[in-house]
Amino acid sequence: MLVVGYRGGVPDEREILSYELFGTAARELAQTIAADGFRPDAIVGIARGGLPLAGVLGYALDVKTLGSLNVEFYTGVDSTLDEPIVLPPTLDRESLRGKSILLVDDVADSGRTLHLVVELLRAGGGQVRTVCLYSKPTTVEEPDYVWRRTSRWIMFPWSAEGPVPYPGGPHSA
């Protein structure tokens, strides 16, 4: 869904993904992957955005070996670190050595996070294919499977509303 709003008096087009549309997108991606004949031994989701799609694809493709890798690159809207960095806890890459892996993220924006993780996983000698809900024209790592291509800002259902408040403020225990 495309929504046009205004930011600072300037028209702002955004791609809005609802939970319902996410379900449709995930199923279509699973069907595309299966039709391509790719049967991953494992699925690895890039945290946090790739985790919802990784879980759904695990069920749809009947893959029970799922893992995740925490990578930080974006620190805010249009704000990034110089380079993406892997954060703990780290993935047990030894258990994936020589396996076929489906690497999952929500969007290939700059593609730098996806590229970093592809290189880490390929170092294990296995086959790595990538899937993202969205790909942007600026990406340096085009996913093998992508549901939609857009240059717009994307609002995902799991991050559209921001975190829920904790009683007593953001740092309450």
Tell me, which fold does domain 2-155 have in CATH? Rossmann fold (3.40.50)
Q: How many Å apart are CA 100 and CA 102, to the nearest integer?
A: 7
Give the sign of the dihedral formed by CA 44, CA 47, CA 50, CA 54.
Answer: positive
What confidence category does residue 27 fall into, taking pLDDT thresholds of 50, 70 and 90? very high
This prediction has a pTM of 0.85
Domain boundaries, the chain: 2-155
What confidence category does residue 92 fall into, taking pLDDT thresholds of 50, 70 and 90? confident
Q: What is the mean pLDDT of the chain?
A: 88
What confidence category does residue 13 fall into, taking pLDDT thresholds of 50, 70 and 90? confident
Q: How many Å apart are CA 117 and CA 76, to the nearest integer?
A: 21
Tokens 């396996």 locate to: 99
